Amino acid sequence: MNTQLKALELAREGEWHGAHDLVEAQDDPLSCLIHGYLHREEGDLGNAGYWYRRAGETLPDNTLDEEWQRLRQRAVG
């Protein structure tokens, strides 16, 4: 299982810190999006926006579940 997919699975299981630890040192676009998603889940929209912008995207207006699904699709290819 790749790092991004593992981070998403941990997030789904409520292991926010474990998921965050996996992506915080990564700088590829998908890891940045997952990092942003995690901060969005946390309620820190300013930090979430930063990570989405770093990945070249804007903060989405979908639900957290929809965003998790979108990111998971990208992680599995």
User: Quick check: 28 and 71 in contact, CB under 8 A?
Assistant: no
User: Total domain count for the chain?
Assistant: 1
> What's residue 71's pLDDT?
98
Query: What does the pLDDT average to over 21-28?
Result: 94
Please tell me the pTM assigned to this model.
Answer: 0.95
The mean of the pLDDT values for the chain is: 96
DSSP codes of every residue in 22-67: HHHT--SHHHHHHHHHHHHHHT-HHHHHHHHHHTT-PPP-S-HHHH
| Residue 58 structural domain | 3-76
- For residue 69, pLDDT over 90 is answered with yes
- For residue 1, pLDDT over 70 is answered with no
